[in-house]
Amino acid sequence: MRIRIVDAFTDRPFAGNQAGVQLLDTEEFPDDTRLQRIAAELNLSETAFAHRLPAGGEADWALRWFTPATEVDMCGHATLATAHVLHTTGTATGTVRFAARCGILTATAHQDGSVTLDFPTSELVPAAVPDGVADALGAEPLGAYDTSPHVGDLLIELADEKTVRALDPDIPALARHSRRGVIATAAAEDPANGYDYLSRCFFPNVGIDEDPVTGSAHTALAPFWSARLGRDDLTGLQASARGGFVRTSLRGDRTLLTGRAVTVIEGDLLV
């Protein structure tokens, strides 16, 4: 079977977030052990597996995502990568519906090459800053918020952009403070640079020290920053070493995530 590596939430190779994508020619998924082994072999933050569903149902493709260590409930960049592969190979056109652990997700391709994902908006619940988080991050939080179960992160607001960019966290210590990890965010120092807010995401509990660009985290960042900035349509920068932009549009209980993707490697799985 063909397997691809796609850089998501970027318009150029070797940036954004890498995802493995395998479109299966079977009517069901292989056993979980095989999927996990393939994901571990690729050793990317996520590998997506999809197979076609019978016509006439509520979704067109079944979709699952695996980190090198575990399966996850929701992944934005690997969904974008999968939609990109479907459209660039001519396997699908227009809007594609995915059945996933977090519900029905859609991906709509546009003529300019971008793709818009429709994901559930994360519910944010104010929380006390856990003891030890400031030391683990190396920065003093302004506030903390729990995110919805499908995201499973602790969202931490920091003072400014410079603080987010300078983070050098104690990754093992962060693992004690959420189910998946920690989202650190602040407002952009100068929105004229093309983004309204920035973030960095650390996910030690699923085997990812720092994720390059995290679509699912933006389902929490979108309502957080829309409430503060007074606009539903924003652009977020994830300020990792690879970096990437996510355009977010808050639509009540749904969040639209728009970005681009580039296929960088395509080959055959030989075993």
Residue pLDDT, tens place only, 253-263: 999 999 999 99
* Residue 157 banded pLDDT, cuts 50, 70, 90: very high
Question: Does residue 129 have a pLDDT over 90?
Answer: yes
pTM score, two decimals? 0.96
Catalytic residue among 41, 46, 161, 210: 46
Question: Does residue 199 have a pLDDT over 90?
Answer: yes
pLDDT number for residue 228: 97
**For the chain, percent of residues with pLDDT exceeding 90:** 96
Q: What is 124-252's CATH number, 3.40.190.10, 3.50.50.100, 3.10.310.10, 1.10.10.10?
A: 3.10.310.10
Domains 2-120+259-268 and 124-252 share a fold: yes
Average pLDDT over residues 73-80: 97
Distance between CA atoms of 184 and 145, rounded to whole angstroms? Answer: 11
pLDDT number for residue 271: 84
2-120+259-268 homologous superfamily? Diaminopimelate Epimerase; Chain A, domain 1 (3.10.310.10)
List the one residue out of 143, 145, 151 whose CA is nearest residue 257: 151
pLDDT per residue as tens digits for the range 233-247: 999 999 999 999 999
* AA letter at 222: A
Residue 138: how many other CB atoms lie within 10 Å: 12
Average pLDDT over residues 157-170: 98
Residues in CB range of 131: below 8 A, 6 or more apart: none
Question: Does residue 177 have a pLDDT over 90?
Answer: no
pLDDT number for residue 178: 82
> Is 46 annotated as catalytic?
yes
Q: Work out the widest C-alpha separation in the chain, in whole angstroms.
A: 53
Q: Where are the domains of the chain?
A: 2-120+259-268, 124-252
Question: Does residue 25 have a pLDDT over 90?
Answer: yes
Average pLDDT over the chain, rounded to an integer: 96
List the one residue out of 270, 228, 222, 210 whose CA is nearest residue 250: 222
Query: Which value, in Å, is the radius of gyration of the alpha carbons in the chain?
Result: 18
Distance between CA atoms of 190 and 94, rounded to whole angstroms? Answer: 35
Contact predicate 73/152, CB 8 Å = yes
Q: What is the DSSP string of the chain?
A: -EEEEEEES-SSTT-SEEEEEEEESSSS---HHHHHHHHHHHTSSEEEEEEE--TTSS-SEEEEEE-SS-EES--HHHHHHHHHHHHHTTS--SEEEEEETTEEEEEEE-TTS-EEEEEEPPP-EEEPPPTTHHHHHTS--SEEEE--TTT-EEEEE-S-HHHHHT----HHHHTTSSSSEEEEEEE-S-GGGS-SEEEEEEEGGGTEEEES--TTTHHHHHHHHHHHHT-SEEEEEE-SSS-EEEEEEEETTEEEEEE-EEEEEEEE---
pLDDT number for residue 179: 86
